[in-house]
Amino acid sequence: MTSPLSATPLRLGIAGLGTVGAGVLRLLATNADLVTARAGRPLKVTAVSARDRTRDRGVDLSGIRWYDNAPDLVSDPDVDVVVELIGGSEGQARAVVESALAAGKPVVTANKALLAIHGPALARLSAEKSAPLLFEAAVAGGIPAIKMVREGLAADRLLRIGGILNGTCNYILTVMRETGKDFGIVLADAQKLGYAESDPSTDIDGLDAAHKLAILAGLAFGQPVAFDSLHVEGIRRIGALDLGFARTLGYRIKLLGMARMGEAGLEARVTPCLVPENAPIAQVDGVFNAVVAEGAFAGRLMIEGRGAGAGPTASAVAADLIDIARGHTIPVWGVQATDTPPLQANPVSAGTGAFYLRLLVEDRPGVIADITAVLRDCGVSLRSMLQHTPEQNDADPYVPLVLVTHQTSEAAMQDAVTRIDGLDVVTDTPVMIRIETD
């Protein structure tokens, strides 16, 4: 439903004035004429809330009401739409969104954690109160991933969704591959450059990507996904050695979040993967994100761009506000909310695939026979094997050994890795990485 053009401003209350919040204010001021033309009416910020009233954010806040307590902003009669940019799945962010929807006010948010964890309840509240909830900025910054899945592919049955969903991890893996530097060094450099937080665990342990994957999967399959059923791994254990071996084998290593719907149910995981170096997604480097969708009729599509930052994220927030101004809104998951329980992802052990396994082993006769015997007993077939590296010191008592398997069950592979890790000839924990060939 589209509303007629109106000169009456759409009045906005913005909760959270960090990088993104200030970016939204800046964009609305800079592009006021363009936004008004496309929205059919002016967008006017009438109220804001943040923790520090004295901080200089580089934007003009004159004439805008200030609320020290963000939930109080919701009840302001001069606020038509609430924009939540506080972040986090609990606390004031959750209170602002829930109270706004309960009051029948539309909400725009960039809060991926809130949607991934509380999305089902928020969708029901949105439907009950006829209060739109839009969140284009919650996944991949300025990339229109939500619109692609929920609107552009609305008539298609999606088979899979996902991609490179965290720019920090993609940057770290790119620099490790290009420079040969190890994880800890590159992470420290990324923190100095502002590409990684002082506490980077949400990014490098895969949680941020998992939040985004849960949202994308819910949209793709028309039903929210139980976040705690996702399998999540990060990149802490990936070494420069692995990037080098991957190159030798014709692959690159990327942290991927992928969800597939098959006859056996939902497979959804965030894990480092080896992808063929000539695959389109392998070419997405640095802080860029990429979202891949595959439909039964549309086939495979990929869109890429900057997945974070003030500009891209503010652009996505403003796009949602324009939709609300024009009366163009659709249900949270693309279909009417129901009381159906969220989709549960299958256990990761139920999957199949080919795998890269890197070991550090004693350099003596019989070691390879011991390891291959374990793989044989677990029903895992080897495709290829690599030993040593050009930089290997012959005096070193331990050498890297890389094994690449044929397709096998993940349960068998996990069993094999557990047994191999218990061998006296193996030092350090084995590194197992899934190989994505399609």
Q: What residues act catalytically?
A: 212
198-206's contacts with Cβ under 8 Å and 24+ in sequence apart are 200/168, 203/166, 203/168, 203/169, 204/168, 204/169, 204/172, 204/234, 204/235, 204/236, 205/232, 205/234, 205/236, 206/166, 206/169, 206/232, 206/233, 206/234, 206/235, 206/255, 206/257, 206/270, 206/271
For the record, the structure tokens of 217 come out as 């999967």
CA distance 367 to 363: 8
3-state secondary structure of 56: coil
CB 91 within 8 A of CB 299: no
For the record, the structure tokens of 204 come out as 């490098």
Number of separate helices (H) and strands (E) present in the chain: 14, 17
For the record, the structure tokens of 349 come out as 């052990």
Query: How long a stretch of residues is the chain?
Result: 438
